[in-house]
Structure 1
Amino acid sequence: MQYRRLGTSGLQLSALAFGAWVTFGNQVGRGTARELVAAAWDHGVNFFDNAEGYANGEAERVMGDVIADLRLPRDGWCVSSKVYFGSAADPRPTQKGLSRKHVHDACHAALKRLRVDYLDLYFCHRPDPQTPIAETVSAMDALIRQGKVLYWGTSEWSAGEIREAHRVALAHNLVAPAMEQPQYNLLERERVEVEYAPLYAEFGMGTTIFSPLASGLLTGKYNDGIPAGSRLAQDGMGWLQRGLHGDRIEALRRFTSLAAELGVAPATLAIAWCLRNPNVSSVLLGATGLAQLLQDLEALEVWQRLDDASWERVQASLA
């Protein structure tokens, strides 16, 4: 495993991390979850990602139980949660968003579900137009000073919103956000590569990117339609299905063919491409089975093995 600093902080995260989005509490049982976390740990993964909204908090319960059962040393791994969407099935106004109350309540609920005394990373899962950024920054600062959180950050915030958070923190001597968790993959590059470009040097911002496979589009499984039981076939995934138009499918088929020519699984190749960006601190992996996870972990070797000419062909295949 390779370890990378979270931006300019002193925290070193595994270049490949393991996340619970969609899978834990929904698609996999506790036995499989235990097997996946154990395999990730055995391969050097030290960052496990979660959120209050994943399976209405059940993903955090499963992860917390599994890690406790494995008796992993607390000083050897990092865990995250995210606040915004709430964990209630039908949240009331105070059970969601980024108000001081919900940030406080959600943090303590996540600590209980994950069975930890503190969160290593705590993300604002989306910007909250109903709450002043200054209030959220102050709430996060308070949690850090209480020892409940070590690093806080944002997820899918605009560059302008991140700058405002830093301005408020500087003006009031508060702890500023250290990281952002954006979507980043071969199909979604603009925000990480262009919009955030000035922020890496300006604020020392790290990134823990999600959806390196574009929710499965880059695996090749959707090249000929949407298989029953796949992620895109689930309720609520219509927004992803809309991306499967003719031109996109042809590009995905070119990418899959190139992966076969290079002797690499499409998913492994897509993850390896993300690792090439020096502003990516950690790439979040998700898996429903051990074979899938082990294949994805091969991305480190693929990233180091392929030459620049091959990577240029990879990018051109999806142009």
Structure 2
Amino acid sequence: MNYFEIPGLHQPIAQLMMGTDYYKPELLDTVGKLLDEYVELGGNAVDSAYIYGGGNSEETIGLWLESRGNRDKIIVLTKGAHHNANGPRVNKQAIDEEFAVSLKRLRTDYVDLYALHRDDPNVPVGPIIEALNEHIAAGRMRAIGVSNWSHQRIQEANDYAAARGLVGFSFSSPNLSLAKPNEPFWAGCISADADACAWHREKQLPLLSWSSQARGFFTGLFTPEVRDNADLVRVFYSDDNWERYRRAEQLGKERGVSTIQIALAYVLNQPFPTSALIGPKNSAELQSCHDATSIKLTDAELTWLDLSGER
């Protein structure tokens, strides 16, 4: 397992983070064993959110942490302030209310990483940064970041924080994958494009990628002719992405690894700190992801894979 630093954390974070959106307490025996295997492989970070499973994800993580007695060894990321049926909720009241519930579900008095789940560009960054800094000062959050924010908004927020001696965002969690989306998988979600990646490279701000393996696009279960997954077709089916698939398959055969492992290695070998949020359902899938962390790709291979050198 490979690791990198996020300012505010007391330990390095693994490049593979366990995604837990499908977790629920009745699955604790199954997912608990999978989490144990992940830890045995060197993993130390789990990702959740206030809205995942109506709270089931956070509840399950809390039960696992309590039963294993390993809270101090596990980096917990949770997210909040996602919009609801009434619209955006990026405000102090929503953050405070949801975060209090998240802590209770997680059976802890702090989280290592806290991210705003969505953005509301109509809300000034100042009050948001100030609200989050209250939790940092109280020891309830160790580091703050965002999911699905543009890099321009992150920079604005960090400029505000720096000018006032406050803690800014120390990580971002958009989508980043070898397959480039035609449109957002969910409305309002952000994928890191070339400009965003250039900004991350300049700032060396860690990027924690969701859907890092393009929701199974590289598994071999899909072809241009297989179109029964409407969302995958809508988001990832394109001539360029099928060419990226072909190149990942070719490089995988040359390296003796699978196509999807090359796709994961693409995320993990960016010229800035990255972590991939993974959602393995069994030991074999977890081991496949772990093995991909040892694949090293050159800058030339990265640009060849994603076609960026041909634009």
Q: Secondary structure at the match of 1:62?
A: helix
- What's the CA shift for 1:198? 3.6
Structure 1 contact 7–200 (Cα < 8 Å) conserved: no
1:268-287 equivalences under 5 Å are 268-287=261-280
1:41 to 32, 39, 42: 39
Q: Distance in 1 between matches of 2:152 and 2:165?
A: 20
Give identity over the alignment, percent. 26
Report the counterpart of residue 112 of structure 1 in structure 2.
104
- What's the CA shift for 1:71? 2.6
Report the counterpart of residue 185 of structure 2 in structure 1.
none
Q: Distance in 2 between matches of 1:139 and 1:99?
A: 8
Q: Which runs of 5+ in 2 are unaligned?
A: 182-190
Q: Distance in 2 between matches of 1:188 and 1:246?
A: 11
1:161-176 equivalences under 5 Å are 161-176=153-168
1:296 is aligned to 2:289 = yes
Q: Distance in 1 between matches of 2:271 and 2:302?
A: 15
Structure 1 residues 221 and 280: alpha-carbon distance in aligned structure 2, compared to 1, 3 A threshold: farther
1:110-259 equivalences under 5 Å are 110-188=102-180, 191=192, 193-198=194-199, 201-202=202-203, 205-223=205-223, 224-225=225-226, 233=229, 238=231, 241-245=234-238, 248-249=241-242, 251-259=244-252
TM-align CA RMSD:
3.1
Q: Distance in 1 between matches of 2:44 and 2:86?
A: 35
Q: Distance in 2 between matches of 1:290 and 1:297?
A: 10
Structure 1 contact 6–281 (Cα < 8 Å) conserved: no
- What's the CA shift for 1:316? 5.3
- What's the CA shift for 1:110? 0.9
Report the counterpart of residue 230 of structure 1 in structure 2.
none
Structure 1 length-normalised TM: 0.82
User: AA paired with 2:58?
Assistant: E
Q: Distance in 2 between matches of 1:162 and 1:70?
A: 36
Q: Secondary structure at the match of 2:142?
A: strand
- What's the CA shift for 1:154? 1.2
Structure 1 residues 143 and 200: alpha-carbon distance in aligned structure 2, compared to 1, 3 A threshold: farther
Query: How many equivalent pairs are there?
Result: 300
Structure 1 contact 212–283 (Cα < 8 Å) conserved: yes
User: AA paired with 2:266?
Assistant: W
Q: Distance in 2 between matches of 1:53 and 1:208?
A: 18
